[in-house]
């Protein structure tokens, strides 16, 4: 079952975070067990608040990725650019479809 981790965070340094996201996409993209898709959302009511949705093929793959030292280093870099704590929500993907 596909798995999605939602990470809620606030920052005023999104440009710097985007560079880290892009670099991570080059390093992790296509590697077995890595993220398969990323979506970044910006809160219209709070311009400092964002949600990152990271999709994996399974919960187990996501946990292996989370335990990777490279992932830990990236999380530390991103955390240093955040205001306050990040909020993690772990979800099993039950349904996904195009509506158009």
Q: Is the pLDDT of residue 27 over 80?
A: no
pLDDT band per the 50, 70, 90 thresholds, residue 92: very high
Radius of gyration of the chain (CA): 14
Q: Please choose, from the candidates 2, 1, 35, 16, the residue with its C-alpha nearest in 3D space to the C-alpha of residue 80.
A: 16
Q: Is the pLDDT of residue 30 over 80?
A: no
Q: How far is the C-alpha of 2 from the C-alpha of 82, rounded, in Å?
A: 28
CB 91 within 8 A of CB 12: no
Segment 43-86, tens digit of pLDDT:
999 999 999 999 999 999 999 989 989 889 999 999 999 999 99
Q: Please choose, from the candidates 84, 76, 77, the residue with its C-alpha nearest in 3D space to the C-alpha of residue 9.
A: 84
């Amino acid at each position: 079952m596909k798995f999605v981790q939602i990470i809620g965070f606030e920052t005023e340094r999104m440009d710097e975070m985007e560079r880290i996201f892009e670099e991570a996409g080059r390093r992790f993209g296509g590697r077995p067990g890595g993220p398969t898709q990323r979506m970044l959302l910006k809160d219209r009511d709070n311009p400092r608040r964002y949600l990152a949705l990271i999709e994996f093929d399974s919960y187990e793959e996501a946990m292996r990725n989370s335990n990777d030292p490279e992932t830990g280093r990236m999380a530390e870099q991103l955390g240093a650019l955040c205001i306050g704590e990040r909020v993690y929500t772990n979800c099993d993907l039950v349904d996904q479809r195009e509506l158009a």
